[in-house]
Amino acid sequence: MRQKIRKAMIIFSFILFPVTIWYFSPYLIIQAASEHIINGSFIVFLSMLVLSVFFGRVWCGYLCPAGGIQECMALCNDRPAKQNKRDRIKLVIWSIWIIAVIVVFIFGKNDVTIDPFYMTDHGISVSDIGNYVIYYGVVFLLVIPAVVHGKRASCHYICWMAPFMMIGSRIGRKLKIPQLHIKADKDMCVYCKRCNKVCPMGLDVNQMVLKEENHRCSECIQCGACVDECPKKALKYAMRWEKRS
Ligand code: SF4
Ligand code: SF4
C-alpha cells in the first residue's frame, strides 16, 4: 500500500512539472544570480539541503517530478540502473555549476533581492509555447538515460539536485542528528534478495544488510520498497542513530 501511495505521489508531482519546473531550474539560478536575485530554485535547492539533514533523500523517493518521469519510463525499461562510476558524473556537473553560480553572483549587479516567482507567470513556470520547447527538452534529457541505462539512471548519473541531499544527509550523519534512514538487522535476513529486486535505484541492498550499512548509502532514496518487500522484517525505517554509527 505504501508503495502505491508513493508512486501516486511521485507521478502526480510529474504531472505538475509544467507548473513547477522553473523552481528546479539550474539555469534560472544563474540568470537570477547575475541580477543579485534570490529566485525560486535557489530557495528550493537550499531547502533540499537543509531538509535532507533530517530526512535524507526522501524527496527523491516520494516527491521529485524527475523521479516520477523515470518511474513512468519503467514501462519501457524496467531494469534499474546500477550504481557505478558514472554516479560521479553528477558530482562533477554539480561542482562546475555551483562554481558558476558563485562567480556570476560575485560579478552580478543590483542590490540583493528575493523573488521566489522569478521568471514565472503568476507562479506558473510554463505558460507559453516557447517554454514548452524547454520543458520537453528537459523531459527528453531525463528520459533518455532511463531508457538506455534503466530505471532512475538520471538520478544516478546526471541529477543536479541529488548532490544537495547527499551533502545534507552526510552532514546529518556526521553530527548524529536524528535522520530518516533504513536500518538493517542482518540476523533476521534469510538472503532471499527480494530487496535487491525491488530497489528502484538498483542497489545491492542485501550486501548492505550483510554489512549493516544501509544507512550510509548516499544513493538510497528512502523509498521504502525494500522495507515493504522484506518477508522477515529485517529492514525498517528509523530516525535515531545507533551508538556505533
Ligand atoms: S535501498 Fe531500499 S529504501 Fe533505499 S532506494 Fe533501495 S529500495 Fe529504496
Ligand atoms: S528481502 Fe529481507 S530477508 Fe530477503 S535478502 Fe533482503 S533483507 Fe534479507
How do residues 141-150 score in pLDDT, each as one tens digit?
Answer: 999 998 888 8
End-to-end Cα, the chain, rounded Å: 31
Average pLDDT over residues 98-113: 93
CA 211 to the chain's CA centroid: 24
Which range, of 154-163, 201-210, 212-221, 222-231, averages the lowest pLDDT? 212-221
> In the chain, where are the structural domains located?
2-170, 178-238
- Strand pairing report for 235-238 and 181-184: antiparallel
The confidence score (pLDDT) of residue 109 equals 86
137 vs 35: CA distance, rounded Å: 25
Task: Please list the residues that pair with 121 across neighbouring strands.
Answer: 124
* Alpha carbon of 76 to ligand 2 centroid (Å): 27
What contacts 23, CB < 8 A, 6 or more positions away?
40, 41, 43, 44, 125
Question: pTM of the prediction?
Answer: 0.90
Nearest ligand 2 atom to alpha carbon 194: 1
The confidence score (pLDDT) of residue 245 equals 47
Determine what percent of the chain is predicted with pLDDT higher than 90.
74
Average pLDDT over residues 100-104: 96
Pick the residue with more confidence: 74 or 61? 61
Nearest CA to ligand 1 atom 7: 199
Mutation test residue for ligand 1: of 194, 226, 228, 230, the one with most atoms within 8 Å of CB:
226
Nearest CA to ligand 1 atom 2: 226
Name the pLDDT band for 83 (thresholds 50, 70, 90): confident
The confidence score (pLDDT) of residue 78 equals 82
Average pLDDT over residues 27-40: 95
The fold of the 178-238 domain, in CATH, is Alpha-Beta Plaits (3.30.70)
The confidence score (pLDDT) of residue 244 equals 57
Tally of residues, the chain: 245
Name the pLDDT band for 197 (thresholds 50, 70, 90): very high
The confidence score (pLDDT) of residue 114 equals 95
116 vs 175: CA distance, rounded Å: 31
Asked if residue 182 has its Cβ within 6 Å of ligand 1, the reply is yes
Which ligand places an atom closest to the C-alpha of 185?
2
Nearest ligand 1 atom to alpha carbon 222: 3
| Mean of the per-residue pLDDT values of the chain | 91
Q: Identify whether the C-beta of residue 214 lies closer than 8 Å to the C-beta of residue 183.
A: yes
Name the pLDDT band for 214 (thresholds 50, 70, 90): confident
Q: Identify whether the C-beta of residue 166 lies closer than 8 Å to the C-beta of residue 218.
A: yes
Determine what percent of the chain is predicted with pLDDT higher than 70.
99
